[in-house]
Amino acid sequence: MLMIFDFFNNSSSITVSVMEQFHDYTMMFLSIIIMFIFVIMFRIINSKTTNYNFKENMNLEVIWTIIPMIILFLIAYPSLYYLYLFDLSMNPTISMKVIGAQWYWIYEYFDQSGWSYSSYMLSDLDLMKSNMINKLGWRLLETDTRLILPYATEIQCLTTSMDVIHSFSIPDLGIKMDSIPGRLNSINFQITRPGLFFGQCAEICGTGHSFMPICLEAI
């Protein structure tokens, strides 16, 4: 039941909100197309006569060639608009760097005099030793040091890797960015509410791939 309620939560970032709006927009076209096809199929199957004007109508063929082109344009334009909007950096208040390592994360804040720290997964034994029994439900997701960020603030996140390819992924915030050695990838996001957001490395990076979680706390 907890997973069901969590699935229907409101979006936690502007990126996810835009994705949901675009999903609803494209589903409108998909629903109309499916309904139209089913109506045509139903009428053809239940009709005892053959309508040759419908099957060999040149004007109708031109119409149902042009209409799909218009629909594709109506879907492609907002898709490209949102794609470039996500990469646009207006005026980020905070810039940070995420470095993937085997098998933990390193966070650096550019605006805090180069302050950096490492974040490791907490094992079940560590949770019990530190009297954090109430957090056993988040096993394999809780970390010894959380990534602390303010909500309602535009944040620029840069990521790279020290060894192999990792992937910095927080699904609730619509963040998934590859951490590649020798390359610096960038993403901008804005969290809309305070809370805890969990993620994991989304790229198979070795035997410890399942044990390098991300725990972000928005305050």
Q: For residue 36, what are the domain limits?
A: 10-87
pLDDT of residue 142: 84
Residue 108 scores a pLDDT above 70? yes
Residue 12 scores a pLDDT above 80? no
Q: List the strands of the sheet with 175-179, edge to edge.
A: 147-149, 213-218, 195-201, 166-170, 175-179
Among residues 87, 106, 136, the one where a domain terminates is: 87
Q: Do 112 and 43 belong together in one domain?
A: no
Kindly indicate the confidence band of residue 133, based on its pLDDT and cuts at 50, 70 and 90: low
| Rounded Cα distance, 133 and 23, in Å | 39
Asked if 111 contacts 44 with a C-beta cutoff of 8 angstroms, the reply is no
In a domain, 5, yes or no: no
pLDDT of residue 125: 74
Among residues 38, 68, 87, the one where a domain terminates is: 87
Q: Do 213 and 191 belong together in one domain?
A: yes
Q: Do 79 and 122 belong together in one domain?
A: no
pLDDT single digits (tens) 75-96: 999 888 887 877 766 678 888 8
Q: What percent of the chain has pLDDT over 70?
A: 84
What is the Cα 12 distance to its own chain's centre? 11
pLDDT, the chain, mean: 82
Residue 165 scores a pLDDT above 60? yes
Task: Determine how many CB atoms are found less than 10 A away from the CB of residue 154.
Answer: 15
Give the C-alpha distances (Å, rounded to integers) separating 218 from 35, 125, 197: 43, 26, 8
Residue 1 scores a pLDDT above 50? no
| Rounded Cα distance, 195 and 11, in Å | 12
| Rounded Cα distance, 94 and 219, in Å | 14
pLDDT of residue 14: 75
pLDDT of residue 30: 92
Q: Do 29 and 71 belong together in one domain?
A: yes
Residue 129 scores a pLDDT above 80? no
Q: How many domains does the chain have?
A: 2
Q: Do 75 and 117 belong together in one domain?
A: no
Q: Do 123 and 198 belong together in one domain?
A: yes
Q: Do 150 and 70 belong together in one domain?
A: no
For the segment 3-7, the average pLDDT, to the nearest whole number, is 45
In a domain, 196, yes or no: yes
Among residues 87, 119, 138, the one where a domain terminates is: 87
pLDDT of residue 49: 73
For the segment 116-142, the average pLDDT, to the nearest whole number, is 73
In 3D space, the residue among 15, 9, 7 whose CA is nearest the CA of residue 175 turns out to be 15
Q: Do 29 and 112 belong together in one domain?
A: no
Residue 197 scores a pLDDT above 50? yes
Residue 169 structure tokens: 């992924």
In 3D space, the residue among 169, 196, 179, 140 whose CA is nearest the CA of residue 6 turns out to be 196
Q: Do 77 and 99 belong together in one domain?
A: no
In a domain, 3, yes or no: no
In a domain, 1, yes or no: no
Point out the least confidently predicted range of 26-35, 49-58, 119-128: 49-58
